[in-house]
Structure 1
């Protein structure tokens, strides 16, 4: 019942049932205890309590491996990787994914739909690091895993293919993939994370093509989440702020981003903080606050030493390139940041001309 509750988007009820199960189930009921521990970890992940969630997912993995419950071992590794990504530890997330791929190979779990989840989060990581060909191949392999399922299941991997096209500045390709994506969005019911990921690439596309009409229309009809206390909801609020910036609504966007940053800092959502700083940079740059823009860009570059982010800078295009050229000319950047700034600039020059 706890598992059903979390799947239905009811974390409070899921947490109550999971704790009840762990308090009352005999130790010998190992399968139920594995499920309950996993659900409790998932609830804490949704609440933004990342370190405690990570520890419960590691416990789930140990128990599942001990009792040969391989699909829960795989699930817990995928969750661990997502948490490490959210914390900004992308190298650790990569290594966790490697262990998950190894488990799939050893236990022949290739046919599980969960395999798609793993190749999808691997694609997100490769995208962040600007390894776009590999990211695209990974997303396509996710679509292949789901080839016998309803096409709606492919929404997330399709979103990543659009993201790869956007990072390459290939707007024609992005547009035809977006047509497929929007068709799927109109023909199914999806979890809010899926919608927020799909909206992200749509809003970035509108930004890159200057399509204010679509952005305004979307902004009118999109629900605003009540909280931003986990990385799923941070994403949807960022979409809203990006649309507001495109429309020149700088004040409401700044209020949104300041609040997102406060939440991201208190919950240690470092990947979200990195993304938020880049949006704040765009806001300051476009509203003529050049000193503020430079300050948050320096923060974003410093944080990228930890996350390894490249493509998140690249998709901001020419505005980002102008600022990076100035910073590189000033010759005051620390060595790691200087190196990253040059790499980002090379990517923008190659793709966004």
Structure 2
């Protein structure tokens, strides 16, 4: 692995500006991804994982806004801000433009696999046609060459008889097969990094295991780096090299996967782990009651875990306004 990370994320902050206040969905997270490794981003629903994943590619839609932090990929600034003399935060001049992100980064260098393939595949077009078009656009190939490449990629991800399935529609594929198509689409442009946003959540355990084995084999073959977003500690143990645990918009623990399981530091990580190990239902129910609505409005005063200083002492969720450096950006 090279000394310089493939992806570096520093103090990334994404807020949602609502009528009720500011939702601090991602609250100053920092992590790196090296060449050829799989880095996990794990936490319960509402922890901020998917918003963080979208923020890396600047795909956050209103009322959400990336308000602070820096994201660099191979030394280029995907997102970055600086403070002017008057205290206003503005985007850096060296930050890639929207056109550069669209033409050079998304799909070509960094691909993303979403949780629900039916949300990503158009039901009125054939699977092969969608894959071929994606390859045409991102690899500048002609229609015939792109079709051959699409069939090869369907074969690569384990679609049986890809020449025949090429003209089938998404509804003619099982959930696991549709997810394989999205993996083929992500790999087809040979990106350096793939963000997998809970791609196995909707699958049964057997199919999930097959998809994880497939990703493991393809990662070895192509040496592609992954950010694997999940709430499932079992998946983390199966596939990841390093792990970032998210809770209420923050990363509360970072570790190699073996260290995370054998030398757990944070109480929240322990609760995630015990949920995998079969924590008695009565205790789980108490925990859920205590922490229900932890990301709701601050005036609800949700109970919190007894956590280190990195989390305790700072309320999360919706605020009446932004504070500190995390103000709304002013166009540079």
* Greater per-residue strand proportion: 2
TM-score using structure 1 length: 0.32
TM-score using structure 2 length: 0.34
